[in-house]
Structure 1
Amino acid sequence: MPYRFDAPIWQTPPPGSWHFLTVPEEMADEIDRRTTGVQGGFGSVKVEVTIGGSTWLTSIFPSKQVASYILPLKRSVRSAEGCGAGDMVAVGLVLVGLEPHS
């Protein structure tokens, strides 16, 4: 089941300056229920993400600070899609590695 949402890109403070998206809380709750027992290290969940014309495999990670999952947004995708911190993007997200009945 694909998830679709719009989210702003946010950036951590230097020196790291990582870029992330936050999965909406209600979707995060459902993802957590669907992936209990199959989550990876640190509670990570494997996903396929599409933003614009870019699709890639990555993981989302639970964050207590935002009470949701966060999605790292790598530089190559930001460059290809011409987006950066503060921009709103449309996201397609598919859980990877789950049984079809889940």
Structure 2
Amino acid sequence: MELSFSGRVIEWRGPSPYYFVAVPDQESADIREVAAMATYGWGAIPVAAGIGGTTFTTSLFPRQGVYLLPLKKAVRAARGIAVGDELTVKLTVRL
């Protein structure tokens, strides 16, 4: 399954900060339709993501009815990504 969407970078504070882009409602609903085939546990969904010319693998995490795409430090550094930035993401759910 391939998707494309835009969203703002958010910071999740904790013992160490994490950075995410929330997958919009409609795309999250599409992912939920294949979640049982893709998840490896705890609702995490393995994906390949692309932002600009940077591609990476990670897992989406379910949170409050949508999925969150974590942004690795290397990805943020390579693209100069900061909290509040609007990003266009290409996403492939790895079934």
User: Unaligned stretches of 5+ in structure 1?
Assistant: none
Give the Cα separation in 1 of the matches to 2:14 and 2:47: 27
Give the Cα separation in 2 of the matches to 1:38 and 1:17: 27
Report % sequence identity.
34
Other-structure match for 1:69 = 67
Task: List per-residue Cα deviations over 1:44-67 (Å, max 9, x = no partner).
Answer: 111000001110111101112xx2
User: Unaligned stretches of 5+ in structure 2?
Assistant: none
TM-score w.r.t. the length of structure 2 is: 0.92
Other-structure match for 2:76 = 78
Paired residues in the alignment total 95
Change (3 A) 1:16 1:30: same
1:59 aligns with 2:22: no
Question: Bigger shift: 29-38 or 70-79?
Answer: 29-38
Give the Cα separation in 1 of the matches to 2:57 and 2:90: 12
Asked which structure has the greater CA Rg, the reply is: 1
Give the Cα separation in 1 of the matches to 2:4 and 2:32: 16
Other-structure match for 2:93 = 95
